[in-house]
Every structure is written in C-alpha cells, then in structure tokens.
Amino acid sequence: MLFKVALLASGVLINSVFAWDNGLQKAPAMGFNTWNRFACNINEALIRDTATRMKDLGFLTAGYNYINIDDCWNTKSRDTSGQLVVDSTKFPSGMKNLTDFLHGLGFKAGVCEDQGLTTCAGFAGSLNHELTDARTFVNWGFDYIKIDNCDSGSFKGTNPERFQRWTDALTQVKAETGKMLFYSLVEWQSFDAWVWGPPIANSWRMYDDIQANWPRITQILNNASFIGDHSNFHAHNDLDMLENGNGALTLAEQRSHFTAWALAKSPLLIGTDVSKLSQDSIAILTNPEIISINQDNIIGEPLKPFFWGKNPDGTWDPSFPAQYWSGYWKDQEHTAIMYINFNERTVDLNFTFSHSPHLKADKKYAVRDLWKHQDKGIVANFFFDGSIPSHDVRAYIFTEQP
C-alpha cells in the first residue's frame, strides 16, 4: 500500500514522500549487525552471545531490537531443489533454531542476501530466486532482510527494477503467510535510491561503506545533508551501520557520529563487539533523549541543515559539512537542534532563531541539553552555548513558551 506523508508548516507543504507502508514500524530500524566488526568471522555462538549481552547491557530496552547477520552465513551453491544452504560449520543448529533463540530473548532477527549472482563475499546470491528465498527467510523465522548489491552485472534492467523484485516477493509471501519482512536495500554506483527507494523499501544506503574514521563520517554526513527531503516514515536514508566502539574514534567523535545518524533518522545498527564496549560508549549509544528523536512516531522528517556555519549555506564539503541542523520533535512546539563542531579547535555556539525554519523568531523557548541531560532555562532571539570541543556535538530540544 502506498500512502502520502504530508506535513503542514505555516500552511506550506514542506514534505511529501510516497512511502511503502508495509505494516511494519514507521521509525528507522535499531539493532546490531555483524559486518563492521566481524565481517565473515561469524557463527551462531557469536550471535547468541551478542544478543544475550545486548539484553544484559540494556540495549534491547533502549530500542535496539534487531540482531542481524550480514554476509557469509550460507554456502556457495544451492541444494538440488534450488534452496539456499546454511553453512553448517558456522551455524550447526540451523537458522530456525537461532531465530527461535533471538525471539525468546525478545529480539527480532535479520539476515543479509544479495541481488546478484553471488554475495559480496562470494556465496550464493538471490538474483532470479527472490520468491524462493523470501519464503525461506520467512520459514526460518527472520523478520528483516538486507539486500546487497554485488555481482549484479548479468541483470539487464535498472536498479529500481532489480530491487523491486524483492518488494514483490515480500508482498507475495505476506499474502501466503501473513508475515512481512523489514526491507533494507543497498545500492551503489548510481547512488540515487533515495529517489526511487521510498515506494520499494524501508531504507536504502545513500553512500559507500562507512569506515571507523572521522573523515569518512563527515563525507557521509555531507552527502546526507542534501537529501533529507526524501526520508520519512517507513522509508529512510541509511547512512550505514554505526562504527561506535571501532577504530580510533574519540568519545567526542562517537557522540557526533551517533547524534548525526540518529537525527538524520538513519537506521541505528551497532557494528562492534559489544563485549568490549566501554561504559562511556554504551552511554552514548543508549542516550534515551537522542533515541526518542530517531524513533519519533509523530514527526517522520529528519533534521536538516538550516545554517552551514563556517561555509556559505548550501556548500558541498566532504570534510566540513553543514553545522547547524533543526527539525520538529513530537509536534511543532518542540524543535530539535543539532550543532557539530567540525573545527580542529574549541568554539562557542551562537545562532539567531530566525535562521531556523523550525523556530519562531518572536517566541521564547525553554532549552534542554540532550547530552548533559540538563534544562538550560528560557531563551529569546538567539541561543548561546560556550566551549564546544573539536569534533563534539550539542543537541537540544527547544520548547515553545506560551
């Protein structure tokens, strides 16, 4: 079913996205994915351990409810009846056993396949087997599929046609079984899935693979800053899986990365060894005030830049994206504001309300700091906050006063 999300602000239609309402959650997916940290070194014990730890550490309660297996779980060929085959060395108890375990803990289960002849790591792909495989994944108890983009050269049609095959297969299997899977797709080269993705899938990648370093994070955010209008309920720009806990990202960078992904309304999939996460990193990933913006069920639009800061507005700069972002939260009396300090030095923040389309220049606002978890009092006309460290972030909720 297609429906139109329309938001009216001051009588002006500010957004409309034709999204695929497949009956699943409106907000972005949250959970865990194996790829960033483990790549092909996966097995059922790792999945069970990760899920158990995520529950014990409070991630499930915080909203991270999908445990997703990426590439490398299957074999290179199908069986004689054309079915996918699980690698029984890595997953000796089989997939149904594993999804039962995850469901027993309260999680949902996700898996990755590929809309090409082979997956990126060279295992059997799904192209021309979409309906068979959709049935298999439902039989195995999965709730979520990521469809990757490797080895698709033999397909003669367009990318929208290729990925639409999974939309059709999932719709067919829903009619047969009553079960619908969350559909996360990955497209690259043309990088235009935000244009045709909304009626086809629940999320689509919008950039090359993330890496656990600050320059890659600013590159992805720079591109994302121009396509916020394409993302809304059921249909989200996917900035790629989180790198919190990986590489040499500082705590300030981890905070900025997580806040930017959450407020751009990207899926939030943890991609590290959760048994090695520091308490500080856990506190970043489970900040309930940031997550409540990502998971807002009333306002679907992401935050968008309203003022570039150092660069002139509208500048495309992969190492210094737009700094000031805003969007509504819950209703039009609550505005979320994000500022990221891309400078290599500490700076003060000071902006006037009239810059943001989500603030009214003539109103007073009560301000809450979402990282210090503090109310900062009532402000008018402009907002000042001092000493923001290099690569760190500030996020606030501005509540309009009567």
Ligand X SMILES: *[C@@H]1O[C@H](CO)[C@@H](O)[C@H](O)[C@H]1NC(C)=O
Name the site residues for ligand X (rule: CB under 6 A).
93, 97, 100, 191, 207-208, 223, 316, 350, 352, 382, 384
Q: Is there a contact between 62 and 286 (Cβ–Cβ < 8 Å)?
A: yes
CB of 298 to ligand X, least distance (A): 30
For ligand X, the closer CB: 187 or 296 = 187
Least CB distance to ligand X at residue 48 (A): 9
Q: How many residues does the chain have?
A: 402
One of 100, 151, 209, 369 is an active-site residue; which one? 209
Phi and psi, residue 94, nearest 5°: 85, 165
Asked if 92 and 100 touch (Cβ cutoff 8 Å), the reply is no
- Single-letter amino acid code for the residue at 292: S
Query: Whole-number minimum distance, CB 107 to ligand X, in Å?
Result: 14
Rounded to a whole number, what is the distance in angstroms from the first to the last CA of the chain?
A: 40
The one-character DSSP state at 175 is: H
Residue 239: CB minimum distance to ligand X, A: 11
The minimum distance between CB 241 and ligand X, in angstroms, equals 16
Q: Give SS3 for 334.
A: strand
Q: How far is CA 26 from CA 23, 191, 267, 297, 301, in A?
A: 8, 23, 11, 7, 11
385 is catalytic: no
C-alpha distances (whole Å) from 96 to each of 60, 69, 197, 295, 304 are 21, 13, 30, 29, 41
On the 0-12 / 13-18 / 19+ scale of CB atoms within 10 A, 259 is buried
Cα distances (angstroms) measured from residue 4 to each of 20, 124, 297: 9, 37, 15
The contacts of residue 126 (CB under 8 Å, 6+ apart) are 113, 114, 115, 116, 133, 147, 166
Q: Which of 70, 133, 148, 240 is catalytic?
A: 148
Question: Is 79 labeled as catalytic in the residue annotation?
Answer: no
User: CA Rg, the chain, in Å?
Assistant: 21
Q: How far is the CB of 116 from ligand X (least distance, A)?
A: 19
What's the closest the beta carbon of residue 136 comes to ligand X, in angstroms?
18
Host H or E run for residue 261: helix 251-263
Name which of 48 and 53 has its Cβ closer to ligand X.
Answer: 48
In 194-285, the DSSP E strands lie at 203-205, 236-238, 268-270
**Residue burial 332-360, b: 16+ Cβ < 10 Å; e: rest:** eebbbbbbbbbeeeebebebebeebbbbb
Active site residues: 148, 209
